[in-house]
Amino acid sequence: MLIYVEKKAENYELTKRILAKFSNEQILWIDHYKNIFDKKIGNQKLTPAIIIAKEEHPNLLPVPNNYWYPGKSFFFRTSLNCVFDCEYCYLKGNFKTQYPVIFVNYEDIQGSISQKINDIRKDWYNWQITLYASNYSDIQGLDVFSEFNDNFIPFVESFDNVLMETRTKSSNIDSLLKVNNWIPYKNTEISFSLNPEEIISTFEKKTAPLQARITAINTLLTKGYKVWLRFLPLLPIDNYEIIYKKFLEDLKKHINIDKINSIFIASLIYNQWDFKTMQKKNPDSKLWNYVKLHENWLVKLPDNIFQNFSTLFKEEFPNKEIYYDFI
Ligand code: SF4
């Protein structure tokens, strides 16, 4: 593996720890992460690499209307890209390379989060503020490099009525089990993205198998973590109604659903520009048969199919509130 390091990231403690941990890997010093990250390399096979960089303008992006939890909500980023390789991942449409980038100046990123929370509270907004940490990468999958949990869970726990969601398809929860001095966490939600094993093995390359995710969920529930289930993207593969029904029935046998606070379902969804890029990168993917262009210029599952999924989830989880993407 190659480790690209921005020269201005050199003196951060996290950089030093990553380089010490991976001292046998080749290090290449660079002026700016975008010189590597934004290079157009098409579908060439490249040596695996990560990039260590400094986020020069850390800021929070407001989420679209009707996205998940009600109230003021923001995306923030501490890393880009992912160690996994889901065929549908929209990051492939957004980013030119698949190299993960880890921003190491956590104090600056936390400073911009604190500032945003303080500004909102000054306007007498006292309801929940939600922070989504995993829209640019799978935080848990990268944690062995990024030490995100160690740094961000105690930080977020120090606020009132703030919720941080990290979402994952990893089953490696070691770092969460170590950061457990603060348990029970009030502000930290670990979400697991789940799908039937048929979908995981076909479309979610390098992610944890379903059984391993279930084991991780149960371990975290036992340790007092807030664990939430995200079923996304729902994919109408052949016989999907039978496959998803069996999948949900099995899940209920293996997870104590009463302990799960919320369930969220979402379509496979792209804006039309990302969709075109995704199609260009992988023209033969079966995935493109599952979606169609809607009037709002989003490309997603046909409404009747999403409705079938919605009915199935309501039937299988009658006592749970089910959140949707209303986009
Ligand atoms: S785990 Fe998430 S971020 Fe990573 S490749 Fe899959 S969809 Fe993308």
DSSP string for residues in 156-211: HHTSSSEEEEEEES----HHHHHS-TTPSPSSEEEEEE---HHHHHHHEETSPPHH
Rounded mean pLDDT, 78-99 = 91
pLDDT on residue 41: 65
Task: Pick from 79, 84, 92 the residue to mutate for probing ligand 1's pocket: most ligand atoms within 8 Å of its CB.
Answer: 84
Strands 269-271 and 298-300 come out as: antiparallel
Strands 226-234 and 188-193 come out as: parallel
Closest CA to ligand 1's atom 7: 89
| Residue range 229-248, pLDDT digits in tens | 999 999 999 999 999 999 99
Contact 137 CB / ligand 1 (< 6 Å): yes
Range 2-324 has CATH code 3.80.30.30:
yes
Contact 86 CB / ligand 1 (< 6 Å): yes
| Residue range 225-234, pLDDT digits in tens | 999 999 999 9
Percent of the chain with pLDDT over 90: 82
Rounded mean pLDDT, 269-285 = 93
What is the pTM assigned to this prediction? 0.92
Domain extents in the chain: 2-324
pLDDT at residue 326 greater than cutoff 70: no
Confidence grade of residue 179 (pLDDT, cut at 50, 70, 90): confident
Cα(276) to ligand 1 centroid in Å equals: 19
The mean of the pLDDT values for the chain is 93
| Residue range 36-75, pLDDT digits in tens | 998 876 556 678 899 999 999 999 999 987 777 888 999 9
Closest CA to ligand 1's atom 6: 86
pLDDT at residue 291 greater than cutoff 70: yes
| Gap between the Cα atoms of 267 and 237, Å rounded | 13
Rounded mean pLDDT, 203-212 = 97
More confident residue, 203 or 1: 203
Cα(155) to ligand 1 centroid in Å equals: 25
pLDDT on residue 96: 86
Cα(179) to ligand 1 centroid in Å equals: 24
pLDDT at residue 129 greater than cutoff 90: yes
Cα(118) to ligand 1 centroid in Å equals: 31
pLDDT on residue 182: 62
pLDDT at residue 318 greater than cutoff 80: yes
Percent of the chain with pLDDT over 70: 96
Contact 6 CB / ligand 1 (< 6 Å): no
Pick the range with the lowest mean pLDDT from 34-43, 50-59, 107-116, 291-300. 34-43
Closest CA to 250 of 204, 201, 194, 305: 194
* 3-state secondary structure string across 13-74: HHHHHHHHHCCCCEEEEECCCHHHHCCCCCCCCCCCEEEEECCCCCCCEECCCCCCCCCEEE
Cα(289) to ligand 1 centroid in Å equals: 20
| Residue range 12-29, pLDDT digits in tens | 999 999 999 999 999 999
Q: Give the angle subtended at the CA of 44 by the CAs of 55 and 199, to the nearest 5°.
A: 80
Pick the range with the lowest mean pLDDT from 77-86, 143-152, 175-184, 281-290. 175-184
For residue 162, list its beta bridge partners: 129
Residue type, 108: D
Contact 105 CB / ligand 1 (< 6 Å): no
Q: Which residue has the tokens 């003021």?
A: 72
Got the DSSP string for 214-274? HHHHHHHHHTT-EEEEEEEEE---TTHHHHHHHHHHHHHHHS-GGG---EEEEE-EEEHHH
Determine the atom of ligand 1 nearest the C-alpha atom of 134.
3
| Residue range 133-173, pLDDT digits in tens | 988 999 999 999 999 999 999 999 999 999 999 999 999 99
pLDDT on residue 92: 81
Cα(22) to ligand 1 centroid in Å equals: 23
Strands 49-53 and 85-86 come out as: unpaired
pLDDT at residue 327 greater than cutoff 60: no
Cα(209) to ligand 1 centroid in Å equals: 14
Could you tell me which residues come within 8 angstroms of residue 151 by beta carbon, excluding any fewer than 6 positions away? Answer: 106, 110
pLDDT on residue 98: 87
Determine the atom of ligand 1 nearest the C-alpha atom of 83.
4
Closest CA to ligand 1's atom 2: 138
pLDDT on residue 97: 87
| Gap between the Cα atoms of 149 and 176, Å rounded | 7
Cα(49) to ligand 1 centroid in Å equals: 17
Joined tokens for residue 29: 């010093």
